[in-house]
Copies of this chain bind each other. A is one copy, B any other.
Amino acid sequence: MGRFTGEPVSFMNSNITGGFWKQRQDLFRAVTVDALYDRFKETGRFEAMKMNWREGMPYKPHIFWESDVTKWIEGAAYFLQKKRDPELEARVDELVSYMARTQEDNGYLNAYFTVVEPEARFTRRTDHELYCAGHLIEGAIAYAEATGKKAMLEVAVKYADLIDRVFRVEHSAAFDTPGHEEIELALMKLYDYTKEERYRLLAEYFINTRGTSERDETYDFTDQEHMQSHKPVRMQNTAEGHCVRALYLYSGMADLARSTKEEKLGDICRQLFENITERRMYITGGVGSTYRGESFTFDYDLPEYTAYNETCASIALALFCRRMWLMDADSRYADCAERALYNTALSGVSLSGDEFFYENPVSVNPGRNAFNESRPDGLKEHLPILKRVKSFDCSCCPPNLLRMVGSIADYMYSVSGNIIYAHCYMEAETELMLSDGPVRLKQMTAYPYEGDVTIITETEGRYTIAARIPGWCRKYDILVNGCKAEFRLEKGYACVERDWKAGDSLQLKYSMETRLAEANPKVIDACGRAAVMYGPCVLCAEGMDHADRPLKDIRIDRGVQFEKRMEALEGISVPVFYGKAFVRRPFDGLYTEHPAEEEEIPLRLIPYFAWANRGITEMTTWFLVH
């Protein structure tokens, strides 16, 4: 396709009908939607929206609580979009009624800055005011699209108009750009939805002003890099600072570049993608090498045990990838999105759907956590937790997962003229619009556990289906109606252009086998080690499956063969991989000059996202390899 010619195909165009994501969506609808509602209710997030709080009362509004609520509404809306539900809508409508009631005449709406610090409105860049506004906008659009109800959208638009006037037109706020980015991509979404130019202009204003304003403060404890305002965005070609902020910003920049077709901004987005994926990303698609500032660090710095890898950051990375493939259909973007979605993002939620990780380390050492817990506060270090929990004080990740799972079909397709790009594979029925008119497709697959994908078209016509050949795939066949198909290979997509008949099948046979991956020699934690991958999934070992032998001592042969068996883990069927490995025979004492003999042990690997569902135990993703 030509650059900047991609058009998204929304999850609204697809119905997930089976397979991996159907199971997840059913679980999230049955469990997660309500679990988060209950959790937010009991922690006072809804009560705070009524803005009745006065000093001395419980439920004092927090600067980012509203974003939790509006993200929950957005996620709920994605499920309502597929199936209306009066009870769930009543819950949303009640929350919307609080917004309508508490919004000021000029459009302002923020509980914290109304009841706690009214004098500080639009004066403190660091305090998530515009971030909350961004999530309000996204939630409002989603709810309007799902239900046709416009009350929340009216609130959001009125607030967006105030922000536009205060920031872009009058410059009457005390700062110029958001401390926590998010509103940029939300405004681009609002522009797409309303076609009102001023929202695009406001997004552009925020993006272009970033890193140029002397009025833009940062936290005392950090620096402008933390919030990507150390330089103008077009001079930023390495990913710095807080990962979630960074990736929301880059997503907004990619939206803007596609909208304005600006080569320079598009190039910067690509450089940032390269820097992240070729220098600063864990093999699990996680980003954030340190909890300090929840941030990127430096090239090749990917410590195992202290990886931060916030769930939100991987979700945001997937959002960024999806925007990148609209600018430039290169399969690396979908490879990266899958890496993030199937590993770190999904690791953020338990198989039961109601417990969550904020951080997603790639190895854990329960001995260190136990010691740390025994320490007095003054000697404690920050360590990732070992068991998912039902809620966090900072609860950004759980509703972000709700949004992601609800709208997962967003990652399936894009179009450009008469080309259909099939990016991430899921079982679904889709109707999408090409230059020549609508096309209906049906996709069947057991992805990511099996590599076969069948796409049946129900629409006759000459068009191209450009099917992504996953980066992990070494051997594949592309068949049309059972016969080897002719195709052009373009940046990782097998482009099959033909006169399709209704009922024609495109079969993608991607040979899915376990593979070993190694990191660059500069990644000091992974030298001498390999990760085991299956399709887009990184596999991991848990201590409880290995008689608590030290997992870091497990060595595999390069030629190791695994047997895959589908097994139930907490009631969910996941692939489990059995192979053989070696560990040194245990010995007492600390050092020996007589190398301990190795003994063979059975190795049992599960997908990384499924770790920590059976209690606290050691876990690792990197194995010694000869």
Whether A550 contacts B528 by the Cβ 8 Å rule is no
Contact B221 A377 (CB under 8 A): yes
Closest residue of chain B to A530, judged by CB?
A: B595
Please judge, given known A-B contacts A222-B379, A223-B376, A379-B293, whether A279 and B590 are in contact too, CB under 8 Å.
Answer: yes
Q: How many angstroms between the C-alpha atoms of A522 and B277 in the bound complex?
A: 32
**Chain B residue contacts of A281, Cβ below 8 A:** 590
Q: Within 8 Å of chain B (Cβ to Cβ): is A89?
A: no
Interface mask (A203-238 → B, CB under 8 Å = 1, otherwise 0): 000000000000000011111001000000000000
Residue of A220, A292, A515, A558 with most chain B CB atoms under a 10 A cut-off:
A292
CB proximity to B under 8 Å, residues A591-610: 591-593, 595-596
Say if the beta carbon of A571 comes within 8 Å of chain B: no
| Cβ contact within 8 Å between A586 and B519 | no
A139-162 CB contacts (< 8 Å) to partner B: none
A41 CB within 8 Å of chain B:
no
Docked CA distance A80–B353 (Å): 74
Contact segment of A185-193, A311-319, A365-373: A365-373
**A301, A550, A558 interface centre (most CB from chain B within 10 Å):** A550
Q: How far is the CA of A223 from the CA of B299 in the complex (A)?
A: 38
What string of 1s and 0s marks CB contacts (under 8 Å) between A81-123 and chain B?
0000000000000000000000000000000000000000000
Residues in B whose Cβ lies below 8 Å from that of A293? 379
Selected from B221, B298, B520, the residue in CB contact (under 8 A) with A378 is B221
CB contact between A521 and one of B295, B519, B558, B586 (< 8 Å): that residue: B586
Query: For residue A529, which residue of chain B has the nearest CB?
Result: B528
Asked whether, in the complex, the Cβ of B517 is within 8 Å of the Cβ of A591, the reply is yes
Residue of B with least CB distance to A280: B590
Tally of A interface residues using CB under 8 Å: 68
Taking a contact as CB atoms under 8 Å apart, the answer to whether A558 and B595 are in contact is yes
Question: In the bound complex, how far is the Cα of B301 from the Cα of A293, in angstroms?
Answer: 26
0 or 1 for each of A297-328: is its CB under 8 Å from B? (1 = yes): 11111000000000000000000000000000
Q: State how many angstroms separate the Cβ of A595 from the closest Cβ of chain B.
A: 6
For A302, the closest partner residue in chain B by CB is B590
Contact B379 A226, beta carbon cutoff 8 Å: yes
A508 interface contact, C-beta 8 A: no
Q: Which of B370, B524, B550, B595 contacts A552 (CB 8 A)?
A: B524
Bound CA span A367–B279, Å: 14
Q: Is A450 an interface residue (CB 8 A)?
A: no
In the complex, what's the smallest C-beta–C-beta distance from A148 to chain B, in angstroms?
46
Are B278 and A517 closer than 8 Å at their CB atoms? no
Contact with B along A555-585 (1 / 0, CB 8 A): 1001000000000000000000000000110
Given known pairs A221-B376, A555-B528, the reply for A516 and B371 (CB within 8 Å) is no
- Tell me which residues across on chain B come within 8 A of A220, comparing CB atoms: 378
A377: B residues at CB distance < 8 A: 221
Residues of B within 8 A of A26 (CB): none
Cβ of A593 and Cβ of B552 under 8 Å apart?
no
- Please name all residues of chain B whose beta carbon is closer than 8 Å to the beta carbon of A300 when the two chains form the complex: 367, 590
Q: Which of A399-425 contact B (CB under 8 A)?
A: none
Per DSSP, chain A at the interface is loop
Flag whether A626 is at the interface (Cβ < 8 A).
yes
Which chain B residue has the least Cβ–Cβ distance from A554? B527
- Report yes or no: B519 in contact with A376, Cβ–Cβ below 8 A: no
Q: Is the CB of A334 closer than 8 A to any CB of chain B?
A: no
Tell me if A596 and B521 are in contact (CB < 8 A).
Answer: yes
Chain B residues positioned under 8 Å from A626 (CB to CB): 626
A523 touching B590, Cβ below 8 Å:
yes
Chain B CB within 8 A of A487 CB: no
Q: Which of A242-262 contact B (CB under 8 A)?
A: none
Taken together as a complex, chains A and B put the C-alpha atoms of A224 and B523 apart, in Å, by 39
| B residues less than 8 Å from A587 (CB atoms) | 520-521
Q: B residues within 8 A CB of A378? A: 219-222
The yes or no answer to A283 lying at the interface (CB within 8 A) is yes
Q: Are B518 and A592 in contact (CB under 8 A)?
A: yes
- Expressed in whole angstroms, the Cα–Cα distance for A42 and B589 within the complex equals 46
**Which residues on B sit within 8 Å (CB–CB) of A297?**
371
Expressed in whole angstroms, the Cα–Cα distance for A380 and B293 within the complex equals: 10
Task: Tell me which residues across on chain B come within 8 A of A593, comparing CB atoms.
Answer: 472, 515-518, 533
A531's closest neighbor in chain B, by CB?
Answer: B591
Instruction: With CB as the reference atom, state the residue of chain B lying closest to A522.
Output: B550
Whether A263 sits at the interface, judged by CB under 8 Å, is no
Complex Cα gap A590–B283 (Å):
9
Cβ A278 vs Cβ B624 within 8 A: no
Quick one: given A378-B219, A378-B220, A527-B624, are A588 and B278 in contact (CB under 8 Å)? yes
Within 8 A of B (CB), among A422-457: none
A586 to B223, CA, bound (A): 34
Which listed residue (B370, B530, B583, B595) contacts A518, Cβ 8 A?
B595
Q: At the interface, yes or no: A460 with Cβ under 8 Å from chain B?
A: no
Contact residues, A524-557 vs B (CB, 8 A) = 524, 527-530, 533, 549-550, 552-553, 555
- Kindly list 19 other residue pairs between chains A and B, CB separation below 8 angstroms, not including A220-B378, A298-B371: A221-B378, A222-B376, A278-B590, A281-B590, A298-B368, A299-B367, A301-B371, A365-B524, A516-B595, A518-B584, A518-B592, A518-B595, A518-B596, A519-B590, A520-B586, A520-B587, A520-B592, A522-B550, A524-B552
13 A-B pairs whose Cβ atoms sit less than 8 Å apart in the complex: A219-B378, A222-B379, A226-B379, A298-B367, A299-B367, A301-B367, A518-B592, A519-B590, A521-B550, A521-B596, A522-B550, A527-B553, A528-B529
